[in-house]
Amino acid sequence: MAVELVSDPSAGPGDGGTRLDGLTSWQSDWRGLRVAVLGLGVTGFAVADTLTELGSEVLVVASQAQDERAKLVEVIGARLVQTDLTSVPQDLIDFDPGVVVASPGFHPDHPLLVWAAERGVPVWGDIELAWRLRDKVVRPDGTPASWILVTGTNGKTTTVRLTATLIAAAGHRVAPCGNIGIPVLDAIRDPQGWDFLVVELSSYQLHHIRRDGIGSLSPLASVCLNLADDHLDWHGTPEAYREAKATVYANTAIACVYNKADAATEAMVRDAEVSEGARAIGFGLGVPGPSDFGIVDGILCDRAFLDDRHRSAIELTTLSELARAGLDAPHVVANILAASALARAVGVEPAVIRDALGAFRLDAHRIETVAVSGGIRWVDDSKATNPHAAMASLRAYPSVVWVVGGLLKGVDIDTLVSGQASRLRGAVIIGVDRSALREAFRRHAPELPVSEVDTDDTGQVMPNAVRLAAEIAQTGDTVLLAPAAASMDQFSDYGERGALFAQAVREFLGGEAGEQSASGDSPA
């Protein structure tokens, strides 16, 4: 139980440093602490629900909220203020919070966060709060669940699911959570309890995690899968984005897993302040060195977690076995190596990993084959929401008609277009603002057939895109939805975008869709 350093429990920001330092356990006295929760999405509601359960005074500030969720705010004992968020509402000023907990969507320069900083009010994210409260339910030995952290520009969700699958196959209770869709606060309050939490972290969430001090987050193992410019509209600069991602390695206890093909992730590990005894474990698609995971003659190998790692390796699985499960695209194999390293770090045996991988399947909208007809493969990778993810997807196919576009989130698309132009048969641009892509193709692939979908009707975007792609595609080509952009300009999310693409493909092919492949087929 934490030692309490509490003055007046109803005090405002003046007591923030002292009192908050003492709040490092579910058993701490959170009563009367005034907390402003910014946002009422899934994360914001979980924060408000948790803190009211602990007896804190909670004011939720949001621009909009689902009707049912808004009604529940009062039921759980919190108060809701709905405002346009362009300025600090008087209700928040009068509330005088001791801490602000911001949902991930709030940019660092948001007026409410600037106001908090000017007043000296600490700003947390949901991960900071969840780590402090992780002992709500403990294991039989009295310890809370151990955390494994996963971040990266791309591949996070797949790697989280893989890691959780491998650990569960070893007989442990494990919950994939975080940015994958299940708030960590919900996971730590689950009455059945967990042995491990595999936590997907976005750069937004990492931005608010403290690297040192009382109660700092300390995972057993962590990984940054890769790094490419993304979310620059949120972080402001590539350096700020990298700094947020690097936080994943702070205070790691056993294994800092990094991508040997991405020097930025290795530099993060080299610069990280970790717990004594933590090791750097590399993964890559080449031959592994000692303390690495890699591939030798088609065999995925562990040269990190064995005694004689300088002269031998442990076989985990083979590329041919992964191909049978539709898991042999290069970027998926890299995710498998990273997940295997995380699982081995917590003691999962190689034979368990091999068996579990044989039954694993990718999420929907992740290089998912929709149909094969007339010698043309139609693939939904709607989850490729940035250029780095789209590049990995494009590289999996030799000749592509590329369906691309949406919200580019401030990133430069030129490098992707110039680097992948040689494998393109043509392109179909979607999105409300298509100008950046139009210009990129004009500069770097002026002879390439490029069509645009110009409609404000969401329901017609994909039927038009599919028709235009079919006019370009030839036998042996792949029509690939890999937008390299977020979806919210025309769709509710990447899932709707991918589902509408798949529906449009099937409707377009009609009777020809009988040649459709099983979902998750390996790329050609």
**CA 497 and chain centroid, separation:** 18
24 carries a ligand binding annotation: no
CA distances in angstroms from 283 to 20, 200, 202, 290, 336, listed in the order given: 39, 19, 21, 11, 10
Task: Give the separation between CA 242 and CA 238, rounded to whole angstroms.
Answer: 6
154 carries a ligand binding annotation: yes
The residue written with tokens 């690939």 in the block is: 480
The residue written with tokens 């490729």 in the block is: 384
213 carries a ligand binding annotation: no
Residue 298 CB neighbour total at 10 angstroms: 11
153 carries a ligand binding annotation: yes
Structural tokens at position 252 = 């790691």
Q: Which residues contact 197 (CB under 8 A, 6 or more apart)?
A: 145, 146, 147, 148, 174, 175, 177, 184, 187, 188
Output the CA angle 256-345-389, nearest 5 degrees: 55
265 carries a ligand binding annotation: no
Task: Give the separation between CA 170 and CA 168, rounded to whole angstroms.
Answer: 5
Residue 220 CB neighbour total at 10 angstroms: 18
Q: What are phi and psi of 407, to 5 degrees?
A: -85, 115
Report the binding-site residues: 152-158
Report the binding-site residues for ATP: 152-158
